[in-house]
Amino acid sequence: MASFIAFSLIGCEEKVVTKKYEGTKDKIKIEAMYTAKGDNITKSVEKVSIKYADIGAQDQEQKDAVKNEMNKDIEKINKFKGVKANLESNNDGITLTADIDYTKADIKELNSNEITKIDGADDTKSISLEKTDEQMKKDGFKEVK
């Protein structure tokens, strides 16, 4: 009987799902991946790629100014619990990658500091994968299988 109960409990564990999206908004390429347990997102990885030419940074001084501003944003973002961000650059542009572990992060704090933009996050401890999927598609992002 005890082994039946143990197997039943194991069978009730929520399924882990990962969804990936790609899109371009205001000439900025965005890739997002969300991992969820059931409908609750537990982790996100977002990669934002910007070409210097698309934002008018033509010479090295302008490119350095963009990198410096982005590095300030990275420093701010990395101060939040559960968040790790980094910046890569080359001659053509910059790529910001942000990993958020929502099992450690304070969603309300991230939202109030505009690290995330989630409607209703002022009173939630989780983010719905279903609602995120709807919003991503509404915003023109394509799900990548």
48 in a structural domain: yes
5 in a structural domain: no
53 in a structural domain: yes
Q: Which residues of 36-57 are buried (b: 16+ CB within 10 A; e: fewer)?
A: bbeeebbbbbbbbbbebeebeb
24 in a structural domain: yes
pTM of this prediction? Answer: 0.83
pLDDT over 60 at 2, yes or no: no
Q: How far apart are CA 65 and CA 49, in angstroms?
A: 16
In this structure, what CATH number is given to the domain that contains residue 25?
Answer: 3.30.1830.10
- The per-residue pLDDT for range 39-54, each reduced to its tens digit, is 999 999 999 999 999 9
**Could you list the residue range(s) of the whole structural domain that residue 69 is in?**
15-144
79 in a structural domain: yes
Encoding tokens for residue 131? Answer: 């609602």
* Closest to 86 measured CA to CA, from 77, 74, 103: 74
Residue 111 CB-half CA count within 13 A? 15
State which H helix or E strand residue 3 sits in: helix 2-11
120 vs 53, which has greater pLDDT?
53
7 in a structural domain: no
Number of domains in the chain: 1
pLDDT over 90 at 117, yes or no: no
